Amino acid sequence: MTKILYIKSSPRGDASYSTRVADHAVAELRQAHPDAEIVERDLAREKPFHIDADYLKALGTPEGERGVEARMRVAHADALIDELLAADTVVISVAMINFAIPSTLKSWIDQVARAGRTFRYDEKGQQHGLVKGKRVILVQAHGGQYCNTPAQSTDFVTPYLQHMLGFMGMTDLEIVHVEGTIFGEEVAEKAVIAGIERARGHAAVRHAA
């Protein structure tokens, strides 16, 4: 059975441009795989915890010696990692906030990027991603115009996500940009419509192949 992990990160909920486009990508995947199991994480609602001293201490403490709170936090992060490892396709919707990703998405990444589970270092100190064989569709919404413009150097969303996903082994990455949403409702809606067509195309092409 095909398994799809859908990660939402915009604080704007269903009004989010990135979410609206990503929803269509997931719908296309569902149509291609009617029996697919879909796990959805709305990070803006769930508010995953940030990494702190207590969590790091919990990771370094043997399981049998952890307190109740420590066990709960590690178990939650373990569940997020298990979802990622189990997925065949990962869809991530992300809105650029102050040129970077939302803090909730950063928290999710911080919890799933764990040595021994999603990456490792060998005896020579070389890093290896362990999350292999995943297809990732990344939908990014930008208020301004960044692709192939002088402003591209200030887009810290794309290079960061490419690096971190690749660091964990996810190199089969397709990116759908939704740009110019700050320039009025009409421009934003045109960007969303174009993004939906690209997202559907990404989902459909692989199925046809």
pLDDT tens digits for range 179-193:
878 777 877 777 777
Quick one: pLDDT band at residue 149, thresholds 50, 70, 90? confident
- Residue 209: exposed, middle, or buried by beta-carbon count in 10 A (0-12, 13-18, 19+)? exposed
pLDDT in tens, 77-113: 999 999 999 999 999 999 999 999 999 999 999 999 9
- Straight-line distance from the first to the last Cα atom of the chain, in angstroms, rounded to the nearest whole number: 18
pLDDT bucket at 201, cuts 50 / 70 / 90: low
User: Pick from 190, 192, 198: which is nearest to 178 by CA?
Assistant: 192
pTM of the full predicted structure? 0.90
CA angle 135, 141, 147 (to 5 degrees): 85
pLDDT at 163: 97
Instruction: Please give the single-letter amino acid code of residue 123.
Output: E
Hey, what amino acid is at 14?
Answer: D
Instruction: Say how far apart CA 94 and CA 97 lie, in whole Å.
Output: 9
The CATH number that applies at residue 171 is 3.40.50.360
Model confidence pLDDT, tens digit, residues 33-82:
889 999 999 999 998 889 999 999 999 898 888 989 999 999 999 999 99
Which residues span the domain enclosing 113?
3-208
Tally of structural domains, the chain = 1
